Structure 1
């Protein structure tokens, strides 16, 4: 009876909370997980190589970027049901909306260009119209946009560079050399500092973007394979996954230094933080697992998902910074 009662409590809580989404890049689908037990509820087919996931500005659609299918799948963030699929989007490896909701930017990782779209709401989801295709050096990877929706920054993974593009004119502002194999990129809330994770090294680089071109401030020692960012949600701290070192570093964004480290096996990649600020969700890319970390005691529980899990997201999350 006690076990049945506990099961009913979990089921009721799951119904009240939105699910957890994990993109299985090599399975071409999304695992929809129970937010209490992390058991897989269902798998939803998308397109080939879904890598990153992102919420639309109106919070009505969750975007799954299917890089090899040249498409974006729109899903209901509360249920995981597919709303529609937008086709003809060239190699959408990474994607971002500008805060003013005017621009939508994608990085074509294998085709070496940046696409800038205008978006308009539709009866179901939204529509995209290509405004400008900007040629880029080799392997554009991750995208960041400043809070004023003026500039988008793109890491160029196999060129060891970062590019800045003016959104109003859709023209490059500058391109600078950076460290080895830059991946995730983030603008601090005050629009003064650009943070860059170096997957080919053991550092996060910090750049002053109040000047043009940007100027290196410091290199923050993290661990091997620094790759993806997720703000803790307190406005002060930033997590970076160290994919090769099997760890996550917590960075003080004001002091620009590492203040804590969390061991995470299996090639930690993308992350999300639950709304209570106590739990970190991490895809363990090489292990086919979702790692759930208790931030207070650093304990980890791991749950099976699909092959090469990449993006992870839930509507029940803390602020992104």
Structure 2
């Protein structure tokens, strides 16, 4: 009996180890916007194993609420490609989604919002867990870029890249609630957990702009220097810090959300764009837009530890093995 128990324990340990190894080797996805495909990267050896065709100009990607599908937004293809985030196989393609440049689910998972970058609109869809139904199309200013949705799932905040504005859209009515001027070329938008403050990356400037959105009308209260071409945010995973890529400065800045101060900086060559933080928070991955590479940065040593060749104009990056959002 003792031998049998020991054998069972060894089998169980081996199975658990195998399961853990499989979880650690789930693919990394990098969108190659000008190649109309996705690089599938094996994190075990940091090599590109294949490329998956998508629609024209995929720019951003987002996970479905059940984590069973990774959605790629094909802006010039007017479509969404659903990919299995574990196997990197295409599950389905949803067509007739006009100009989905950026995309986001509301926290309550009832709404799905896309920013029409070239068509100057924001589309609000109802999501039933598997299907999308257009609830309303909202005409906006020029070049809607990035989206943030508040924790109550009531408001989508969208930056207007070529109008230098931030627009608030009421999700239930699909109406513009307010708009406010920003600094040059606003890009990504990130909200604090209390929904009182938004920070906006100014790609045409050298930092972020802070807005108080706790009242009926927004107020610009501060600008913080991070680096030229401040662009895309990603949560650090500790519920306190957020990273932002500075595309022109070739750096990534770490911001303390409690004080809104820059507390660290990291080198990120090649025009850093979208960021992913690996589970545990010790590694950053960033797409080097002008260098056709995925760059990996050690957050403890603050050094680039590897670069992986990918396709033309790499933009979004994602993996299931990410730090908490």
TM over 0.5: yes
Tell me what 1:58 maps to.
Answer: 66
Check whether the contact 1:247–1:265 (CA below 8 A) recurs between aligned residues.
yes
What is the 5 A alignment of 1:60-79? Answer: 60-79=68-87
Tell me what 2:34 maps to.
Answer: 26
What is the rounded CA distance, in whole Å, between the counterparts of 1:115 and 1:16 in structure 2?
36
Tell me what 2:298 maps to.
Answer: 294
Shift of 1:79: 1.1
What is the rounded CA distance, in whole Å, between the counterparts of 2:202 and 2:45 in structure 1?
34
Tell me what 1:40 maps to.
Answer: 48
Tell me the alpha carbon deviations over residues 85-121 of structure 1, each in whole angstroms, 9 at most, x when there is no partner.
0000000000011111111100000000000011223
Check whether the contact 2:73–2:101 (CA below 8 A) recurs between aligned residues.
yes
Shift of 1:58: 1.3
What is the rounded CA distance, in whole Å, between the counterparts of 1:100 and 1:260 in structure 2?
33
Sort the Cα spacing of 1:84 and 1:295 in 2 relative to 1 into closer, same or farther, 3 A: same
Tell me what 1:315 maps to.
Answer: 320
Find 1:186's aligned residue among 190, 197, 207. Answer: 190
What is the rounded CA distance, in whole Å, between the counterparts of 1:151 and 1:16 in structure 2?
36
For the pair 1:147 / 2:151, whether they are aligned, the reply is yes
Tell me what 1:6 maps to.
Answer: none
For the pair 1:198 / 2:202, whether they are aligned, the reply is yes
Tell me what 1:130 maps to.
Answer: 134
For the pair 1:94 / 2:87, whether they are aligned, the reply is no
Check whether the contact 2:72–2:82 (CA below 8 A) recurs between aligned residues.
yes
For the pair 1:306 / 2:311, whether they are aligned, the reply is yes
Work out the number of aligned pairs and report it. 307
Q: Normalised by the size of structure 2, how large is the TM-score?
A: 0.92
Tell me what 1:169 maps to.
Answer: 173
What is the rounded CA distance, in whole Å, between the counterparts of 1:188 and 1:30 in structure 2?
31
Shift of 1:15: 6.7
Tell me what 2:235 maps to.
Answer: 231
**In structure 1, the residue corresponding to 2:324 is in which secondary structure?**
coil
Q: Normalised by the size of structure 1, how large is the TM-score?
A: 0.93
Check whether the contact 1:14–1:36 (CA below 8 A) recurs between aligned residues.
no
Q: CA RMSD of the aligned region, Å?
A: 1.4
What is the rounded CA distance, in whole Å, between the counterparts of 1:23 and 1:14 in structure 2?
23
Listed as ranges, the gaps of 5+ residues in structure 2 are: 1-16
Tell me the alpha carbon deviations over residues 244-264 of structure 1, each in whole angstroms, 9 at most, x when there is no partner.
010111111111111111111
Runs of 4+ in 1 over 6 A off after TM superposition: none
Shift of 1:168: 1.3
Check whether the contact 1:13–1:36 (CA below 8 A) recurs between aligned residues.
no
**In structure 1, the residue corresponding to 2:131 is in which secondary structure?**
strand
What is the rounded CA distance, in whole Å, between the counterparts of 1:260 and 1:212 in structure 2?
34
Check whether the contact 2:24–2:321 (CA below 8 A) recurs between aligned residues.
no
Shift of 1:17: 2.7
What is the rounded CA distance, in whole Å, between the counterparts of 2:321 and 2:200 in structure 1?
26
Listed as ranges, the gaps of 5+ residues in structure 1 are: 1-8
Tell me the alpha carbon deviations over residues 276-315 of structure 1, each in whole angstroms, 9 at most, x when there is no partner.
1100000000000000001000121111011110000000
What is the rounded CA distance, in whole Å, between the counterparts of 1:302 and 1:49 in structure 2?
23
What is the rounded CA distance, in whole Å, between the counterparts of 2:41 and 2:104 in structure 1?
24
Tell me what 2:226 maps to.
Answer: 222
Check whether the contact 2:267–2:303 (CA below 8 A) recurs between aligned residues.
no
What is the rounded CA distance, in whole Å, between the counterparts of 1:26 and 1:145 in structure 2?
28
